[in-house]
Structure 1
């Protein structure tokens, strides 16, 4: 079930509320209450969760790319950009107000949990904030719904931002193949085009046309609100009435989509050839809408196809060495859409062999059926995913929002029951009905040296006509719930062998999250074998001395649990999620894999191919290549942070022996370099005892340490072009060695100083100018990276279209130079401090967030108390300290300039 992570069971019942005169209670169903505004018909769903003093408020607008036509494709998405941060009656620069993003940023919101998105069936706007800022979130969404100005000068700059987003997508082979396959499979219905639209429509749509689209669809009776998390019901309903109750109903019927996709009469094919490094095969099978009774059986089928190492297509493709990965998507949409299967060809494997294997496995399933055990496993995986998705208000609101857009909220709440009712016969029936040749579209992505021809531009013109709006009334707030300090909530134990474990009980949901760190990152491998740490990490989940990969996969699949290992520069990361009751087995599997990997020869051969594809894909990414080159310029050869070239890594993959893998594992996977943080509905004492049993006798080993290395000094800046032919987008990276380490006393001050300059693409110096004002980029940010035990780099990274390259470099440089001269203002520092404090609280609103924060704090030697101390550390930063830290770690006269893309030289 990849279309939705929803939250259903065990919700706290809403207390009885004294309703405002304009609000009526519609119904309460399984713990979620629906209310409606009598004046205009707008509804709100309330899903309370007091686990953390955080909420998510979302409004779902029933307009997406299915409500467009050729000539205005992408209009919903462009409108989303216009109301995301451009001017409304009460926000934005047109009338002298703070922008929406400035207000949200100061409240602690970030782009991950406070944003706007557009898809086929809907647009949504949402904010995740501390509980005392609910009035802020509602004011913002009210202005987005009915008070957007949609000014021509703002559309012009935002059009180029959206065009750059389009170009970034064109750089991605998988996205390019998906667009081609979907357009071939769907030829009449508006799902034919992608949400972002055609480039010529993005460039050519007029402001008046966007304004007309807004006036057609943005009305309270075409929108639904969702509030999840910590809130007071009476105060929330009063705010909802105050902010949204004054909007009138739509003055006309909302236009309906009437086009029905005609039946497909045979297999269709499409081929995408453009520069790339890895081949892809995609099969699309047209199936019914989410509201159709067969959709639920297709969900179970989708899980059986690709969920886990024992899934049908994993066994048919990955296990046989034809592909390095395979996945499938069965998105819940309002109208019929394909079930998509996508495989990444293993190096040297032809596309036709991968296609034949997919078709063969699916035909075998449709003919012979599936076992009851496969159905039960899929049902368990889906049910656990549903329960796990209650881990935080944003996840809950997002899942409910997708259901409201594609079907309705009560269908969403009955989803698990319907999944449990599916039988093996149902799965075979829908496979035989929908996964058949006459409903199939095949897409291939074949890497080529030839770039596609660019599309011609279209003219843009429209007169500005601002709209009037009323000022909202006075505010009301709801107080946040008190929280016990993490230093008291956390049970911490250091085992005699050095293993560190932190455990936090959080009974809000019956789930558990595990996050771990092993000091076995790529920098711990010898320079002569740069792929050694990556390949060792790849082998952990491929079988142990006591269990095969398939046996472990079956155990996890039966629980609906997940665990992942990923190798980074400084460490190997561990992530696991599941039901709290299953923690003993989850930890047993993690301990077995970390301590006793089998390094079986057959699995090693597959892991080599998988890692080779990873390196090839990274080498085809403009941002990765530019940042890699910065690392090579900033750090001397032999330094742990100096990135190895792709050719060296590919040679290393082939040369590494099983003995070398085992030796690296013995050296780097000792208990003295391991940390586990566990949060969920668990017994801390029993969990500590379990960890002691599983890891207490592990050899301590010697934790790798590089702290004795001297700090890297910035050198004279170098200008370089990294040539990647056929790329529609470029990445500009400016940066140098920073000299900043995590343990430095001015670390928090440096964070605040950088945030004022470039933390946010919309609420920072460079973001406001390069993206928001000049519209030159979709993504721009500055960061201190790799500031851990060693000092890392400071950089700016900018996505840009080739025609805007010179201007983007110039504008970014000017802002950097101005900031170096003037520093941050008191107001900027205060805004960034407010962001960090609020954002940190938001991050601790889920089991996964708590476990990740604890693991990070332990990694740097701070312990659980740091989760309580961080807001105070940030609050203590002064403007003088922030500017002093920036002067110490930011070197504008020694910045390297690297541009990766389709170019050979840099502009003057």
Structure 2
């Protein structure tokens, strides 16, 4: 939610040797630390001196570490006039302490991907970084320092206030988010779950500093916090570092304020209506649910999936299939106290909202008359458990999911809810739906008097300590061995070859390695067509890719989805510009079967008319929604300005209106013809990383692709440098609280040119990181934008690229935003970067690059790119060396050579006519 330090997608190398038992226990915890319990490789400890709880989840398979500090305080703990205080405090902690006044800069220097988020139940601060004992110790020391020494100064609050408003206004642009907030406010009469985490604008703007500090001192204490460390680290060394950093913090003497507000059972339908400019029609229905710790929650979660799933769900069949809605959705909001489930539908403007809403609620509340089936239950159970398994195999996701379980009352709920999902019977799911999805428990519509109202049961929190005292979870967790992501090791471990197919060739890059949960990532790229043969095919390339997994002559969309779910698979297909990329992920047990199945479906896709109709409906709705969004409008205007191609060219950028016309004109015959003419294996590559048998996967790919035709001959579509006349443009977006600015300049540069590395680092320092000039000026000093960035994009094939800059902001701050960006560009060009800036940026950028190579998914896509460009990871190693060798003179020279402010074209989109609030 806050402080998105996404920086770059970068990489990590340092390998720390971790010695631990199969259960994950540290063999010799230091004095003052008590080991409490261990479940499936996750172990809980407590600092005896102050009550800080610690969860360690070691995993050697990926050389990265994630640290997550969770405080059991969220917006539900705020009193009258204090709404938004928990979230605002999250912002303020990043403003520093007397010992470290600029935490963001220190994170950026060390290559940390860090963030902080606030929900109704908890606040957390986390960071992921290349496994390194010194970095871990440093970050733990920062967490200990900020736990008790945050400055929380008025001057910091004043500069941050505009940023918080910017974030608040950004959320105001999302019609569904605001609709859901309004529904929550009506659904809850007394409990703070009815208030938004971002808070009331008046409360946030008038926050009292002494009260904010008091809030901080009350809740930011060791006995109200849980520290989670996941990934590659030494548990015994980590515990010693924790004692060193946190052991001297005294035990809190205060008592936490009691919580006694209980939301009464709802006694009649409620309704909220939202009227705003832009977007697409929505209808929704919300129902109160048990807390996530309640025994009925898992069953109700499964019931909501049965009702809201696409395309098997009850709502999809009742609304989308009958053309009453463009799409449907459903999700539960798991909370420590009783929460909510929401069902909804997206509509096109010409659809009947009243009919859609009536159909939606009637479908939800008819479960007693139309009971669930075993097939429905097993389908969604497979989906749920697949998602759980995928999360459990990723150390970063484990850290995040444990945080959410902590917020629900106990970290072991992460496993307990999974067990309840496994054990839920059809009767359990049916009864849960019948108890809670009732008319009087609904928030959606007008009040209707009822002679015999049906009430949902009164709910209370279970006694988790009693219920979980003997819980152990699954046993026998397998730990994966360490993998060194050094480029030379990646090249040495990867099996490279080109295999002849019957009607084409297949380039392979296979990297077998152990992974948590025996996960495997596979990417397959097919390339076909050229700039001439692809004329008039722009939309077909996109639509065909979207519909490839939606049916064959012998298998329905639902059957395909069920088979992928049964194989525990994640499948993504994307296509544009004469190419197709297929991304697959599952376990070693299923990767060959999943690969064969998906390739067979894609080859035999039949583009059924009902699936095409749904695609047209959804795409039309999406385009119309974008036509009122500042960022979409500005980005498309700028893209069209720099686009010289004729309308039938594959590289052409259409207007919104042209897109709507093209989508409306799509026919099944067009898609079938495109698929038959272009799809083939004349130019195909595949990469895989994870726990798989290389020889077997190669055989699987050769057999599956050997059935394909050659397809249209491939020749890369060029993207030459274009000399674009600069222009400054504007778009009005009435009633939008946020505005968007974007500017871009074309560059005559290739990534093989001597200046490329120096310009990349200059971009990093100008606007590519949280220590960049633009970030420190616009985000930190002036507090004008939630996010401000520059982006450098350069071709590997020709001298063609671009440098762009963008920012989101309140419309009344447009002049300050534009002048601030201009001044920082001019200052960089005039004065250049300092030697210290360059040295620190080099270290940070190299750390980010190392971190990126530690991710299996990045390695898979990296190999696809390298095979396309005729490279390997030696290129990555050489790039590291070039970055490390850069001088301040080279960086400043590259900046001045390629960055010419007068060559930038820009667009500002927003409600610039409204009065300043």
Quote the RMSD (CA, aligned, Å).
2.8
What is the CA distance between 1:768 and its match in structure 2?
0.2
What is the CA distance between 1:637 and its match in structure 2?
4.0
Match for residue 470 of structure 1? none
8 A contact 2:687–2:860 mirrored in 1: yes
8 A contact 2:529–2:713 mirrored in 1: no
8 A contact 1:280–1:344 mirrored in 2: yes
* Cα 1:567–1:747 shift into 2, 3 Å: farther
Match for residue 111 of structure 2? 108
* Cα 1:756–1:899 shift into 2, 3 Å: same
8 A contact 2:777–2:820 mirrored in 1: yes
Match for residue 460 of structure 1? none
Q: Which of 41, 45, 48 is the aligned partner of 2:55?
A: 45
Greater shift in the superposed pair: 426-435 or 264-273? 264-273
Q: Secondary structure at the match of 2:631?
A: helix
Match for residue 169 of structure 1? 171
Q: Give me the whole-angstrom Cα distance separating, in 1, the residues matched to 2:868 and 2:444.
A: 47
User: Are residues 1:78 and 2:85 paired?
Assistant: no
User: Are residues 1:725 and 2:728 paired?
Assistant: no
8 A contact 2:525–2:581 mirrored in 1: yes
8 A contact 2:549–2:557 mirrored in 1: yes
User: Are residues 1:505 and 2:512 paired?
Assistant: yes
* Cα 1:803–1:345 shift into 2, 3 Å: same
What 5-or-longer segments of structure 2 have no aligned partner? Answer: 1-19, 447-481
What is the CA distance between 1:399 and its match in structure 2?
0.7
Match for residue 883 of structure 1? 892
* Cα 1:905–1:802 shift into 2, 3 Å: closer
Match for residue 277 of structure 1? 279
Q: Which of 809, 815, 819 is the aligned partner of 1:806?
A: 815
* Cα 1:326–1:573 shift into 2, 3 Å: farther
What is the CA distance between 1:259 and its match in structure 2?
1.3
Q: Which of 511, 514, 518 is the aligned partner of 2:522?
A: 514
Q: Secondary structure at the match of 1:291?
A: coil
Give the alignment of 1:60-71 within 5 angstroms: 60-71=70-81
What is the CA distance between 1:135 and its match in structure 2?
1.1
Q: Give me the whole-angstrom Cα distance separating, in 1, the residues matched to 2:889 and 2:710.
A: 44
Q: Give me the whole-angstrom Cα distance separating, in 2, the residues matched to 1:899 and 1:522.
A: 35
What is the CA distance between 1:414 and its match in structure 2?
2.6
Deviations 1:274-328 (A, max 9, x none): 1113111221111111111101111222332334422333333333333332221
Q: Secondary structure at the match of 1:721?
A: strand
Q: Give me the whole-angstrom Cα distance separating, in 1, the residues matched to 2:369 and 2:206.
A: 50
* Cα 1:122–1:600 shift into 2, 3 Å: same
Q: Kindly report structure 1 stretches of 4+ aligned residues shifted beyond 6 Å.
A: 520-525, 904-907
Q: Give me the whole-angstrom Cα distance separating, in 1, the residues matched to 2:529 and 2:333.
A: 36
User: Are residues 1:680 and 2:690 paired?
Assistant: yes
Match for residue 777 of structure 1? 785
Match for residue 746 of structure 2? 737
8 A contact 1:391–1:846 mirrored in 2: no
Match for residue 440 of structure 1? 442
Deviations 1:253-275 (A, max 9, x none): 11233211121111111111111
Q: Secondary structure at the match of 1:56?
A: strand
* Cα 1:349–1:192 shift into 2, 3 Å: same
Q: Secondary structure at the match of 1:343?
A: strand
Greater shift in the superposed pair: 348-357 or 234-243? 348-357
Q: TM-score, normalised by structure 2?
A: 0.88
8 A contact 2:344–2:360 mirrored in 1: no
Q: Which of 751, 754, 760 is the aligned partner of 1:751?
A: 760
Q: Secondary structure at the match of 1:364?
A: coil
What is the CA distance between 1:803 and its match in structure 2?
1.7
* Cα 1:756–1:516 shift into 2, 3 Å: farther
Q: Give me the whole-angstrom Cα distance separating, in 2, the residues matched to 1:662 and 1:888.
A: 49
Q: TM-score, normalised by structure 1?
A: 0.89
8 A contact 1:543–1:597 mirrored in 2: yes
Q: Which of 360, 363, 367 is the aligned partner of 1:361?
A: 363
Q: Secondary structure at the match of 2:838?
A: helix
User: Are residues 1:652 and 2:662 paired?
Assistant: yes
8 A contact 1:518–1:675 mirrored in 2: yes
Match for residue 624 of structure 2? 616
Q: Give me the whole-angstrom Cα distance separating, in 2, the residues matched to 1:432 and 1:500.
A: 55
Q: Which of 662, 681, 685 is the aligned partner of 1:671?
A: 681
Q: Give me the whole-angstrom Cα distance separating, in 2, the residues matched to 1:258 and 1:523.
A: 68
Q: Give me the whole-angstrom Cα distance separating, in 2, the residues matched to 1:673 and 1:170.
A: 46
Greater shift in the superposed pair: 60-69 or 504-513? 504-513
Greater shift in the superposed pair: 144-153 or 579-588? 579-588
Match for residue 838 of structure 2? 829
Q: Secondary structure at the match of 1:513?
A: strand
* Cα 1:168–1:42 shift into 2, 3 Å: same
Greater shift in the superposed pair: 628-637 or 71-80? 628-637
User: Are residues 1:123 and 2:123 paired?
Assistant: yes
Deviations 1:344-402 (A, max 9, x none): 11453222232233223323334332222322232222222222113432111001111
Match for residue 322 of structure 1? 324
Q: Which of 556, 564, 583 is the aligned partner of 1:575?
A: 583
Deviations 1:10-43 (A, max 9, x none): 9942254333222222222332211111110001
Match for residue 425 of structure 1? 427
Give the alignment of 1:165-244 within 5 angstroms: 165-244=167-246
What is the CA distance between 1:481 and its match in structure 2?
7.1
Q: Which of 258, 261, 273 is the aligned partner of 2:260?
A: 258
Q: Count the aligned residue pairs.
A: 852
Match for residue 397 of structure 2? 395
Q: Secondary structure at the match of 1:389?
A: helix
Q: Give me the whole-angstrom Cα distance separating, in 2, the residues matched to 1:625 and 1:264.
A: 42
Q: Give me the whole-angstrom Cα distance separating, in 2, the residues matched to 1:734 and 1:708.
A: 23
Match for residue 499 of structure 2? 495
What is the CA distance between 1:775 and its match in structure 2?
0.4
Q: Give me the whole-angstrom Cα distance separating, in 2, the residues matched to 1:279 and 1:317.
A: 14
Greater shift in the superposed pair: 252-261 or 499-508? 499-508
Match for residue 773 of structure 2? 765
Q: Give me the whole-angstrom Cα distance separating, in 1, the residues matched to 2:892 and 2:712.
A: 39
Match for residue 55 of structure 1? 65
Q: Give me the whole-angstrom Cα distance separating, in 1, the residues matched to 2:869 and 2:318.
A: 43
* Cα 1:573–1:152 shift into 2, 3 Å: farther
Match for residue 151 of structure 1? 153
What is the CA distance between 1:738 and its match in structure 2?
2.5
Q: Give me the whole-angstrom Cα distance separating, in 2, the residues matched to 1:849 and 1:443.
A: 47
Q: Give me the whole-angstrom Cα distance separating, in 2, the residues matched to 1:215 and 1:521.
A: 64
Q: Give me the whole-angstrom Cα distance separating, in 2, the residues matched to 1:324 and 1:870.
A: 47
Q: Give me the whole-angstrom Cα distance separating, in 2, the residues matched to 1:43 and 1:256.
A: 21
8 A contact 2:531–2:717 mirrored in 1: no
Q: Give me the whole-angstrom Cα distance separating, in 2, the residues matched to 1:267 and 1:741.
A: 62
8 A contact 1:522–1:567 mirrored in 2: no
Greater shift in the superposed pair: 358-367 or 859-868? 859-868
* Cα 1:529–1:14 shift into 2, 3 Å: closer
Q: Give me the whole-angstrom Cα distance separating, in 1, the residues matched to 2:426 and 2:530.
A: 45
Match for residue 17 of structure 2? none
Q: Give me the whole-angstrom Cα distance separating, in 2, the residues matched to 1:720 and 1:842.
A: 39
User: Are residues 1:333 and 2:335 paired?
Assistant: yes
What 5-or-longer segments of structure 1 have no aligned partner? Answer: 1-9, 93-98, 445-479
Q: Give me the whole-angstrom Cα distance separating, in 1, the residues matched to 2:192 and 2:741.
A: 36
What is the CA distance between 1:872 and its match in structure 2?
3.5
Q: Secondary structure at the match of 2:288?
A: strand
Q: Secondary structure at the match of 1:261?
A: coil
Match for residue 29 of structure 1? 39
Q: Give me the whole-angstrom Cα distance separating, in 1, the residues matched to 2:311 and 2:513.
A: 31
Q: Give me the whole-angstrom Cα distance separating, in 2, the residues matched to 1:749 and 1:583.
A: 41
Q: Secondary structure at the match of 1:837?
A: helix
Q: Give me the whole-angstrom Cα distance separating, in 2, the residues matched to 1:789 and 1:742.
A: 8
What is the CA distance between 1:728 and its match in structure 2?
0.6
